């Protein structure tokens, strides 16, 4: 049995909360910065952008493998020890990634950086919950959730600025100073606490099935878009492998006496429903985070910097409302708060769906500003709902598995949203160009030179206008669909039990 970590209070509690949440911040920030810098990295290393995306894929696979293992790692080596070593090795491999001079070397070190980064996010929440008094657990989830939401806001802005003004190596080197701060803080504040170990055998077969599932599934999701999905033999092979290994993994873990992943958490109705809704919502949220800059830069003509500034307002209300939500949680039914949050997010997407190519910067930024008001009420409270009344010995497993499912859902959301957007852009273009009026208009404008430009330039000019409108329609359709899905997900929340949150 692991030693129970006694709650902190006063300044020590505040410092420990800062250190643990900051560890979470570093990992989430690193992922978003790297995504933005892929074109720069690819160019500097002399490879194509599609090859450069393996920097993202390999990290995601490695991280997804270790995230659900947090429960087992915490029991075997202790939560504090695993968290501290994970941060330390995350720093080490960040430095090695920055020093890489070829894509192969960078990918190799990114795998190990992903292994180190995986346990940090769920264990930061687990440790936050153990150092906060039981009656203030909702504050712990609020702090953790706010950091998880805010970090992706700074990532694109910081990643673009570093790539444009410094060099891509610094997207990894900035982890060093931040990580050392977290390591020192963890050692000083949590030294000797929560490090009790439980001798458990390693479930090699379960681990093997997990690795096989995650690897094949992640490759399928990340590369499916580039390889025309199941028209590719590689994607078919990965899909079949992922399905078989997942089924085998679940059956084995259920029958195993000492499983590598504790699936007993699914017995909790609140955890299961809240985790599913959280994962699906995060998938849509990430789709929004990816489609928005694509739309702004390819359709609206924004630079990377202005694109980042347009989405930055989400952080304003997210930060301001988080403390309010934390105070409301012990007093108001969590399901009501989540419903409010999800409907606000749905409304912000509905506002985005009504934009056009003539929309101003203010019109673009306003829905993002509104979105910030719903994020804490949705994401943070869903986490609280899922773990309320969860046994302490299952907390690390529940947190790790929840983050694993969220990570998988975000990978699916990322790939499918971009696939949908690109596909519908092509469909819309074919529909617009297919109209007889288009060819007639091109002929008329060319013959009469009504655009006051060289005749040979008119077809390409009009073709560009069609491309822009086709992408605009696809963007609107995506946000209309996202609005409907979020409203649907909201209904599922009311199938949970009314939770008891200690005031």
Please choose, from the candidates 21, 11, 49, 77, the residue with its C-alpha nearest in 3D space to the C-alpha of residue 322: 21
Which has the minimum average pLDDT: 93-102, 106-115, 443-452, 479-488? 443-452
pLDDT at residue 255 above 90? no
CATH number, span 1-202: 1.20.1250.20
pLDDT at residue 332 above 60? yes
Share of the chain above pLDDT 90, in %: 18
Cα(202)–Cα(206) distance, rounded to whole angstroms? 9
Identify whether the C-beta of residue 29 lies closer than 8 Å to the C-beta of residue 155. yes
pLDDT in tens, 341-385: 999 999 999 999 999 888 899 999 999 899 988 988 888 888 888
pLDDT at residue 133 above 50? yes
Contact partners, residue 201, CB within 8 Å, separation at least 6: 258
Return the pLDDT at 351: 94
459, containing H or E segment:
helix 458-493
Give the pLDDT band (50/70/90) at residue 140: confident
Contact partners, residue 233, CB within 8 Å, separation at least 6: none
pLDDT at residue 389 above 50? yes
pLDDT in tens, 275-288: 999 999 988 887 88
pLDDT at residue 453 above 80? no
CATH number, span 264-503: 1.20.1250.20
Identical topology for domains 1-202 and 264-503 = yes
Cα(227)–Cα(415) distance, rounded to whole angstroms? 12
pLDDT in tens, 288-312: 877 887 788 778 888 766 777 787 7
Cα(228)–Cα(417) distance, rounded to whole angstroms? 15
pLDDT in tens, 398-449: 877 887 888 788 778 877 887 888 888 888 888 877 655 566 665 665 655 5
Return the pLDDT at 1: 39
More confident residue, 391 or 110: 110
Contact partners, residue 297, CB within 8 Å, separation at least 6: 303, 304, 307
DSSP code for 115? H
Give the pLDDT band (50/70/90) at residue 31: confident
Return the pLDDT at 317: 84
pLDDT in tens, 53-107: 678 777 877 887 787 777 778 777 888 888 889 999 999 999 999 998 888 899 8
pLDDT at residue 15 above 50? yes
Contact partners, residue 456, CB within 8 Å, separation at least 6: none
Q: Please state, in angstroms and as integers, the Cα–Cα distance from residue 22 to each residue in 106, 146, 182, 322, 480, following that order.
A: 25, 11, 7, 16, 35
Return the pLDDT at 91: 93
pLDDT at residue 458 above 80? no
Question: Could you state, in order of their start, the residue ranges of all structural domains in the chain?
Answer: 1-202, 204-259, 264-503
Please choose, from the candidates 435, 436, 417, 434, the residue with its C-alpha nearest in 3D space to the C-alpha of residue 474: 417
pLDDT at residue 316 above 90? no
Contact partners, residue 355, CB within 8 Å, separation at least 6: 363, 364, 367, 475, 476
Mean pLDDT (whole number) for 134-161: 72
Give the pLDDT band (50/70/90) at residue 502: very low
């Amino acid at each position: 049995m692991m030693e129970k970590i006694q709650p902190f209070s006063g300044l020590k509690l505040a410092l420990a909360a800062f250190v643990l949440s900051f560890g979470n911040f570093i990992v989430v920030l690193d992922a978003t910065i790297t995504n933005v810098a892929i074109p720069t990295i690819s160019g500097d290393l002399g490879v194509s952008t599609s090859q450069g995306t393996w920097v993202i894929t390999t990290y995601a696979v490695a991280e997804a493998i270790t995230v659900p293992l947090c429960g087992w790692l915490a029991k075997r080596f202790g939560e504090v020890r695993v968290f501290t070593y994970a941060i330390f090795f995350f720093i080490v491999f960040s430095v090695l990634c920055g020093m890489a001079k070829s894509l192969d070397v960078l990918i190799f070190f990114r795998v190990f950086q992903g292994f180190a980064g995986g346990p940090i996010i769920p264990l930061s929440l687990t440790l936050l919950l153990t150092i906060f008094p039981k009656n203030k657990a909702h504050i712990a989830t609020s702090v953790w959730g706010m950091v998880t939401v805010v970090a992706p806001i700074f990532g694109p802005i910081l990643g673009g600025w570093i790539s444009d003004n410094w060099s891509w190596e610094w997207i990894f080197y900035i982890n060093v100073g931040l990580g050392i701060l977290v390591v020192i803080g963890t050692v000083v504040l949590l030294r000797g606490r929560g490090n009790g170990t439980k001798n458990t055998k390693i479930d090699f077969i379960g681990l093997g099935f997990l690795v096989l599932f995650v690897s094949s599934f992640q490759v399928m999701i990340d590369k499916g878009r580039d390889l025309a999905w199941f028209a590719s033999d590689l994607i078919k092979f990965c899909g079949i492998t992922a399905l078989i290994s997942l089924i085998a993994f679940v059956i084995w873990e259920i029958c195993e006496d000492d499983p590598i992943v504790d699936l007993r958490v699914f017995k909790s109705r609140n955890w299961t429903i809240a985790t599913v809704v959280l994962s699906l919502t995060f998938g849509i949220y990430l789709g929004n985070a990816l489609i928005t800059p694509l739309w702004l830069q390819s359709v609206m003509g924004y630079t990377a910097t202005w694109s980042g500034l347009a989405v930055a307002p989400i952080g304003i209300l997210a930060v301001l409302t988080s403390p309010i939500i934390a105070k409301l949680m012990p007093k108001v039914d969590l399901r009501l708060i989540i419903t409010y949050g999800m409907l606000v997010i749905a409304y912000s997407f509905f506002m985005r769906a009504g934009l056009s190519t003539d929309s101003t910067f203010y019109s673009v930024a306003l829905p993002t500003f509104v979105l910030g008001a719903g994020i804490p009420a949705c994401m943070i409270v869903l986490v609280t709902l899922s773990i309320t009344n969860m046994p302490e010995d299952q907390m690390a497993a529940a947190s790790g598995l929840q983050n694993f499912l969220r990570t998988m859902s975000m990978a699916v959301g990322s790939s499918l949203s971009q696939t949908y957007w690109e596909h519908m852009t092509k469909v819309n273009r074919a529909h617009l160009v297919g109209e007889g009026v288009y060819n007639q208009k091109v002929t008329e404008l060319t013959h009469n030179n009504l655009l006051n430009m060289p005749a040979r330039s008119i077809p390409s000019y009009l073709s560009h206008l069609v491309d822009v409108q086709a992408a605009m329609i696809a963007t609107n359709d995506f946000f209309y669909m996202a609005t409907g899905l979020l409203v649907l997900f909201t209904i599922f929340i009311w199938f949970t039990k009314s939770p008891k949150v200690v005031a």
